[in-house]
Amino acid sequence: MSGPTIAVVLLAALLHATWNALVKAGPDKLLSTVVVTSGAGLLAVPLLPFAGMPAPASWPWLAASAVCQVVYYRLLALAYRHGDMSQAYPLMRGTAPLLVVLASGPLLGEVPSAGQGVAIALICGGVLAMTLGGGASRRSSAYALANAVCIAAYTLVDGIGVRASGAPAAYTLWLFVLTALGMLPGVAGTGRGLAAYARRYWRTGLAGGCGTMASYGLALWAMTRAPVAMVAALRETSILFATLIALYVLRERVSGRRIAAAGLIACGAVAMRLAR
């Protein structure tokens, strides 16, 4: 992997952690996720005519992924409402690769390799240290781990859907649009003040929308320049970026034990991506 490609992947990881921090910093976590997804959807709409249409065979997978994404954002809001980003983010992002490997056994008949076994041990150790350590919020941990299941689900769904689409860029743009539309019914007209919130925090929506789109797009570009496994592994550094942002920007109280747990989870996630 070349130096510029490494820099691009690290930037993608930083952007992913950054838009999560924008959601965490907002006074209403659910409405913050809505303005971020709406920002991404609005940015995606003008690009649709240039991307074409995904093949009809991918539409059911696209719809399923959009449902998973809506659930993901709602669980994200709940995890950040009840706990710290330095706790929830590593659990969500680090446990998902573990679940993908475990699900691949019964679904695809794939048996974990020795390297993946080491990665599983690292992730499990980090999760236990994170959830059993002092200051951990059980509710936040529960929502974060549930979200890891959701991330694993849409990872598997998109793996099939993108291949069936024949147009990865179009598939991705439509996913952003459908997710934005799917987030609105749950808050519109419920008295949560979405319109007023959006007027006040529209910059958060655009910045977060740009962050999530750029993070995904840069990672996809990097995968055309380097092995997918290496890109996916390096992108897991977002766990470390998120921990640092939580510590120095959000001013969370991050214990040495939590930092060590995040490090274990990050190492396990990287190892999982690279293992064969």
CA–CA separation, 182 and 186 (whole Å): 8
Long-range CB contacts for residues 221-226, cutoff 8 Å, separation at least 24: 221/8, 222/5, 222/8, 222/9, 222/12, 225/1, 225/2, 225/5, 226/1, 226/2, 226/5, 226/9
In the chain, where does DSSP find H-type helix? 3-25, 29-44, 48-51, 59-82, 85-108, 114-132, 138-165, 168-183, 194-200, 202-223, 228-235, 238-248, 256-274
At residue 32, the pLDDT reads 93
At residue 276, the pLDDT reads 62
Any residues with CB less than 8 A from the CB of 144 and at least 6 apart, and which?
75, 79, 83, 87, 88, 89, 91, 92, 95
At residue 256, the pLDDT reads 84
CA–CA separation, 238 and 242 (whole Å): 6
CA-to-CA dists, residue 155 to 65, 160, 250, angstroms:
8, 9, 29
**Locate tokens 């999982």: which residue?**
272
pLDDT along the chain (276 residues), means of 10: 83 93 93 94 93 92 94 94 91 81 68 76 80 75 92 83 87 93 77 81 92 87 75 82 92 86 83 73
Using an 8 Å Cβ cutoff, are 168 and 103 in contact? no
Q: How many Cβ atoms are within 10 Å of 199's Cβ, its own excluded?
A: 10
Sign of CA dihedral 44, 45, 50, 54: positive
At residue 235, the pLDDT reads 83
Any residues with CB less than 8 A from the CB of 246 and at least 6 apart, and which?
21, 24, 84, 85, 86, 89, 252, 254
CA count, 13 A, side-chain hemisphere, 216? 17
At residue 163, the pLDDT reads 84
Residue type, 135: G
CA–CA separation, 169 and 220 (whole Å): 9
Task: With H, G, I as helix, E, B as strand and everything else as coil, classify residue 110.
Answer: coil
Any residues with CB less than 8 A from the CB of 80 and at least 6 apart, and which?
20, 23, 24, 29, 88, 140
